[in-house]
Structure 1
Amino acid sequence: MRKLLFLFLFTFSTLVFAKTKLISQQDLLVNQMSATPHQIIDVRSPEEFAAGHVKGAINIPFDQIEQNQNLLNTLKPSTLVVYCRSGRRAGIFEKTLTEKGFNLLHLSGDMNAWQAAKLPTVK
């Protein structure tokens, strides 16, 4: 019951903060096996990313959008799946990129839910 409440609160906070459409963990896993997978963006700190992240994710910290603008511009034609630990930083990142015309999805529950579901991570 606690886990369910925990997941609900983080998902709800994500919905309130950002209006980006959600992608479920299961849908992301299926998408990653497709011929044209979405690009996953982990907006946590480099230290958090190094400790474990979703396979295929690249790290662009939420507060380093401008420093990574050239990389982001190369990704603009793609659908980007964004996540952080709990949703706050991803919401900030999503707001900025939505204003720049990017096509975004938000990983439902972020890394907290991914780990709670015991889904695979890489270091």
Structure 2
Amino acid sequence: MRFVLLLSLLLCSFITLGKTEQISQQALLINQMSAIPHKIIDVRSPEEFAAGHVKGAINIPFNQIDQHQDLLNTLKENTLVVYCRSGRRAGIFERALSKDGFTLLHLTGDMNSWQAENLPTVK
């Protein structure tokens, strides 16, 4: 039993090694009021973005990184906060950009949690 528990803990730690650091909704809201706010990237589809997104977010769908490379290059010196609906697409986007030297944070809980907390969105 101890071996199985130890093996599970080791496996979980290896899985989390490659993940992007998270930022909470509250920390992001505070950051957006600061002198140097992070850039927020919504990687959902344009339709999802139009239905409601975090104020100030830029829509760069996760599967259109190449088409937005010029914009991304202008953002490289900033910390980017990435989110999607539930986390899967944001993870794909983060893996693609992390190897290019971008500084990334993942919005805890993504849009599902943002909306569940009744935090403001814009259309």
Fold equivalence (TM over 0.5): yes
Q: Which secondary structure does the structure 2 equivalent of 1:105 belong to?
A: strand
Aligned to 2:112: 112
The residue type paired with residue 55 of structure 2 is K
Q: Distance in 2 between matches of 1:62 and 1:35?
A: 28
Q: Which has the higher contact order (CA 8 A, sep 6+)?
A: 1
Alignment of 1:1-123 (within 5 A): 19-123=19-123
Structure 1 pair 116–22 and aligned structure 2 pair: CA distance change class (3 A): same
After superposition, the C-alpha distances for 1:23-81 in whole angstroms (9 at most, x for unaligned) are 00000000000011000000000000000000010000000000000000000000000
Structure 1 stretches of at least 4 aligned residues deviating more than 2 Å after TM superposition: 15-18
Task: State the TM-score, normalized to the length of structure 1.
Answer: 0.86
For structure 1, list consecutive stretches of 5 or more residues without a partner in the other structure: 1-14
The Cα of 1:107 is off from its aligned counterpart by 0.1
Q: Percent identity?
A: 76
How large is the Cα RMSD of the aligned pairs? 1.4
* 8 Å CA contact 1:83, 1:107 repeated in 2: yes
Structure 1 pair 90–51 and aligned structure 2 pair: CA distance change class (3 A): same
After superposition, the C-alpha distances for 1:72-115 in whole angstroms (9 at most, x for unaligned) are 00000000000000000000000000011100000000000000
For structure 2, list consecutive stretches of 5 or more residues without a partner in the other structure: 1-14
Count the aligned residue pairs: 109
Q: Which secondary structure does the structure 1 equivalent of 2:101 belong to?
A: coil
Task: State the TM-score, normalized to the length of structure 2.
Answer: 0.86
The Cα of 1:17 is off from its aligned counterpart by 9.8
